[in-house]
Structure 1
Amino acid sequence: MTIRGSESPRMSRRHRVGILGGGQLARMMALAGLPLGLQFKVLDPATDACAGECTPLVNAAFDDAAALQALAGEVDVVTFDFENVPADSARALASKVPVYPAPDALAVAQDRLSEKTLFRELGIPVPAFAAIDSREGLERALDEVGVPCILKTRRLGYDGKGQFRIRSRADADAAWEALGAQAPRVGLILEAFVPFDGEVSVVAVRGRDGEFRAWPLTANWHVDGVLSASLAPAPVPARVQETALGYARLLAEKLGYVGVFALELFRRGDQLLANEMAPRVHNSGHWTIEGAETSQFENHLRAVLGLPLGSTAMRGHACMLNWIGEMPDAAAVLGEAGGHWHDYGKEPRDGRKVGHATFRADSAPALADALESAGASLGRSGQVDPVVAVLRG
């Protein structure tokens, strides 16, 4: 176990936060917490975890008992920036120090079958689904769910990983060849394909005292399973917004959730179908840093520390653009009024989230103008055109 970074001046114990996972979400949590007078310690197995540039970093495996024991003795509360942190590690920590969100909530969100089953129990609509444990089971599930459909790992999948789209029964062999070997380790689930009109997410927060707040519904666009752009507020009728927030509240209260989470939904007309829950601050909520009265990162910290939650009201209109693989030219963003730049300090790599930009404006037309201009300068008109089309109505 090694530690990188110098210790900050000692403060009251209530101000010390441990984070399992040292990626960009932990980094942005730490940046949001510094004005609150908070100290952080991050645990991550990667020596180059980008949160280490702004907070002490403990290099250790997530199941390193000695490292977890040491972390528990140095902080007042533990949270995480990565949903695939072992739930058993979170439970081990919870016997020594408060852990939020609770390990049981983390465990539910780590398993797509448990997650979908919970949605159904709460009356939240979901696509048809079935658990798979064998090649024969896949055939039975195809009869039950129908095609087209998507075969997914139950665990350890994110950003489109661990998925195979089945367009016809002829694809079944290829799907099993791609994912079947993982069935004993992470389990498989078959989900009906949803011909949706759009994808939206609720980013919400629940405090230790049960107070619940949510940011306006966010519209999302994905490329190859990875988030490309997010727009808030989503241009949907008020009843759709109310339904989505109601589903999020049901989940938070059922799980006794504390902290920020995201509920991802498919929108088909005015109907919403739940896709999955992320038990952490979320990529589709990055726009809140500049676009809301209180960011998702600050409110997550307020929640896990038992502090009053901040306002989730918007500041006009906002759009977040993800940078994948490598960073573009910052000048094209910073040259626009309301343009904001976030570099995660990561080495460029294909498929890797390395940064994002947020554009904020007082009106939808002004935001559309800024996006069009920046998109043209960056050579990324294809990324902004769908958002601009929505903003122009």
Structure 2
Amino acid sequence: MTARHQPVLGILGGGQLARMLALAAAPLGVNTLVVDSAADACAGQVAPLRLADWTDYAALEKFAAEVDVVTFDFENVPAETAHWLAERVAVFPDPRALAVAQDRLAEKTLFRECGLQTPAFEAIDTRADLERALATIGAPAILKTRRLGYDGKGQFRIKQLSDADAAWAALGTQASAHGLILEAFVPFERELSVLAARARDGDFRIWPLTQNWHTDGVLSLSLAPAPAVGGLQARAEELARILAERLGYVGVFALELFVKDGQLLGNEMAPRVHNSGHWTIEGAITSQFENHVRAVLGLPLGDTSARGFSAMFNWIGELPDAAPVLSTVDAHWHDYGKQPRLGRKVGHATVCAAKPEVLAARIGEVARTLGREEQAASALHLLAK
């Protein structure tokens, strides 16, 4: 009897997203091989790990020969590395999507070309550019690096025009290397995200909109499906589909959105599985991780319907005691196997229920146990409507 070939999925980056991709791939009969420059990358606890820098082309050549398809778990993998690998092995999503998402100016420009409105923005390369942009956009505004910023990093909030000097002192040195962008501050009503999957054959699936709350620029709580979104669900699907087709996208991606005056505004795109979609592991028929593996390997996509209602608590810096959370009915604990560190995502928990009022009770139980009542108050208010 001939041995069956098990496909190997190569993953650039070895964080928690790679870890969860590997866990989702195994039941599909898919092996994984992870590349990261850190010996303690947490995906290495569940999948083979190759240590290599993104410019170590000898190591990457060997990696490419050992895998059938390559994907990535975070957007700061150099686009040049992805392009180099794409000449040797299939890479999904297309490195073009990675390059766009790495540059906030290119990203915002693409959003507008696809019909997704954004806050006002201007490219900033010099101190004089900042003065001119502030004269147009006004304050409050947010000065950001065009590249390498995530989870609130590489940003300075300009509350009033006199903050321009402090903003330039904080970020101006990066203007010559990567450029900056000034964005109008949006007094948004809600923060939503839409997770979508596109297969190699163009099949397109979308999960229900998720509402998100952030603390210090890092996602802290998600609620799915987001309550009372009305026509925003269909609009988000339309915009995500246009964007995916424009990029020839294959895999799962997320759009982070603001809601202002009942309209969607584009904030950022993540060309990968996303923190706000972790609830799909237990809360959807097919998780974002499984569908990403399916998509990049050319397998049929799974149903993205929600099984009921879910809330995800993100653990930042260090893990709380698991026992009180696990004593809650239909609660699910995820420890990423990382060492505690200020601002670091180290795990999450998802609480599920068949009815919104039951979910509200379970969210309240977890929040009281962990002292996060204030953070959960907005989610509980929405569920009570």
Q: Same fold (TM over 0.5)?
A: yes
Deviation at 1:269, TM superposition (A): 3.4
Per the TM alignment, residue 177 of structure 1 is displaced from its structure 2 partner at its CA by: 0.2
Equivalent position of 1:279 in the other structure: 271
**In 1: Cα distance, 2:350 partner to 2:374 partner:** 17
Q: Of residues 135, 138, 143 in structure 2, which corresponds to 1:146?
A: 138
Counterpart for residue 103 of structure 1? 95
Per-residue Cα deviation, 1:137-185 (whole angstroms, up to 9, x for no partner): 1001111222111000000000000000011110000000000001112
Question: What is the one-letter code of the residue matched to 2:104?
Answer: R
SS of match in other structure, 2:231: helix
TM-score, length-scaled by structure 2:
0.98
Alignment of 1:355 onto 2:343: no
- Please state whether the residue corresponding to 2:71 is helix, strand or coil: strand
SS in 2 for 1:33: helix
| Aligned counterpart, 1:183 | 175
In the alignment, which residue of structure 1 is the partner of 2:27?
Answer: 35
Could you say which residue in structure 2 is the equivalent of 1:307? Answer: 299
Matches within 5 A, 1:151-300: 151-300=143-292
Task: Give how far 1:13 is off.
Answer: 5.2
Asked if the contact 1:13/1:75 (under 8 Å) is kept, the reply is: no
Deviation at 1:390, TM superposition (A): 1.4
Which digits, 9 at most, give the CA deviation of each residue in 1:43-90, with x for residues without a partner?
A: 001110000000000111112101110110000000000100000000
Name the SS of the counterpart of 1:196 in structure 2: coil
Measure, in 1, the Cα distance between the counterparts of 2:17 and 2:169: 34
User: In structure 2, how many angstroms separate the alpha carbons of the residues matched to 1:180 and 1:247?
Assistant: 34
String of CA shifts for 1:72-113, please: whole Å, max 9, x gaps. 000000000010000000001000100000011110111000
The 2-side partners of 1:231 and 1:372 are apart by 13
Asked if structure 2 preserves the Cα contact closer than 8 Å seen for 1:281 and 1:297, the reply is: yes
Give the whole-Å Cα distance in 2 for the aligned partners of 1:364 and 1:297.
25
Quick one: which of 105, 108, 112 aligns to 1:120?
A: 112
Taking the aligned partners of 1:325 and 1:11, their CA distance within structure 2 comes to: 45
SS of the counterpart of 1:308? coil
Q: CA deviation at 1:14?
A: 5.8
Question: What code does the residue aligned with 1:127 have?
Answer: P
* Corresponding residue number in structure 1 for 2:378: 386
2-structure distance, mates of 1:133, 1:161: 19
Q: Deviations over 1:250-301 (max 9, x none)?
A: 1001000000000000011311100010000000000000000000000000
Give the deviation of 1:236 after TM superposition.
2.8
C-alpha distance 12-261 of structure 1, shift in aligned 2 (>3 A): farther
State the shift of 1:384 in Å: 2.0
TM-score (norm 1): 0.96
Partners of 1:13 and 1:76 within 8 A in 2: no
Q: 1:12 to 1:177 in 2, by over 3 A?
A: farther
Query: Across the two proteins, how many residue pairs are aligned to each other?
Result: 384
Quote how far apart the aligned CAs of 1:11 are: 7.3
| CA apart distance, 1:12 | 5.2
Give 4+ residue runs of structure 1 displaced > 6 Å after superposition: none
**Which letter does structure 1 place at the counterpart of 2:119?**
P
Q: Over residues 23-59 of structure 1, what are the superposed CA-to-partner deviations in whole Å (9 max), with x where a residue is unaligned?
A: 0000000001111111111000111000000000011
Q: CA deviation at 1:385?
A: 2.0
- How far 1:342 sits from its partner (Å)? 0.1
Which stretches in structure 2 are left out of the alignment for 5+ residues? none
Maintained 8 Å contact 1:14/1:305: no
SS at match of 2:91: coil
C-alpha displacement of 1:374: 1.4
Q: Find 2:55's aligned residue among 60, 63, 69.
A: 63
Contact 1:14 1:76 in 2 (8 A): no
Structure 1's unaligned 5+ residue stretches are 1-9
